Amino acid sequence: MSSSGSFAVDDAVVLFITLVALYSPAAALSSYLPIIARFNAKDQFRLAVSLFINVLAISLTAIWIGELLLEKVLGLSTDSLVVTGGIALIFEGIHLMTGPEDQFIVKEPEPGAATEGPVEGSWRSVAFMPITFPLTIGGTTFGILVAFRADVGSVHGAVGLSVAAALYALVTGVTIYAAGHVARRASQKAQIVLGRLAGILLTAIAVTLLISGGTRMVHSVLQSLAH
């Protein structure tokens, strides 16, 4: 019993380290900056909470029913999710590189201005895409979660992986919350420079996702044709 518990803990620790390393909080923070800079402190906090919930929900889905959902129900592969994430990300990256400079400036609400209810360009419009997908969690992350679940096999092991996923979700929420603090304290010129650099970074990530995911998809098709 203690041996199986030890293996479950080891798997959970390895999963957490793997997810955080893939996520790279420092790099993620810089990619969040130009997107969240347009929101006030309250909305940035809401984004952080929303990201935590989204990442936790997606991670738990991947751990408990991910393999069944992808292959049996939807007929999709994790590589297709990687390519989709790359396509979504490249649009955001190009917009950041070539769009107007005022998109990077932090806007605080005017006194007496209404802040409740969804509005065009509100934090809800970016909470899932691109903040959650593909900037925070994408096809590769989903695939890792599914693979770890298949490896541990037991329900006990899956519970350990779920705890690791919850801690990972917390890291993502804290990271985007920290990005909000950085954005509010940076000068307007610094915000613009960071925004342009983030656009270059996001575009590079998008191209990498498209190439890696597309290559694996083509390889899989060729293998299936060979058989």
pLDDT digits (tens, 9 = 90+) for 121-150: 589 999 998 899 888 998 778 878 887 887
Domain boundaries, the chain: 2-110+122-226
| pTM assigned to the model | 0.68
Q: Which of the two residues, 12 and 97, has the higher pLDDT score?
A: 12
With bands split at pLDDT 50, 70 and 90, how would you rate the model's confidence at 113? very low
Q: What is the pLDDT of residues 34-43, one digit of tens each?
A: 788 788 889 9
Q: Residue 173: is its pLDDT beyond 80?
A: yes
Q: Quick one: pLDDT band at residue 46, thresholds 50, 70, 90?
A: very high
Residues 6 or more apart from 41 whose CB is under 8 A from it? Answer: 108, 180, 184
Q: For residues 214 and 106, which has the higher predicted lDDT (pLDDT)? A: 214
Instruction: Check residues 154 and 5 and name the one with the higher pLDDT.
Output: 154
Alpha carbon separation from 184 to 20, 32, 128, 152, 156 (Å, rounded): 25, 13, 22, 43, 43
Say which residue, 91 or 124, is predicted with more confidence: 124
pLDDT at 35: 85
Q: How confident is the model at residue 82 (pLDDT cuts 50, 70, 90)?
A: low
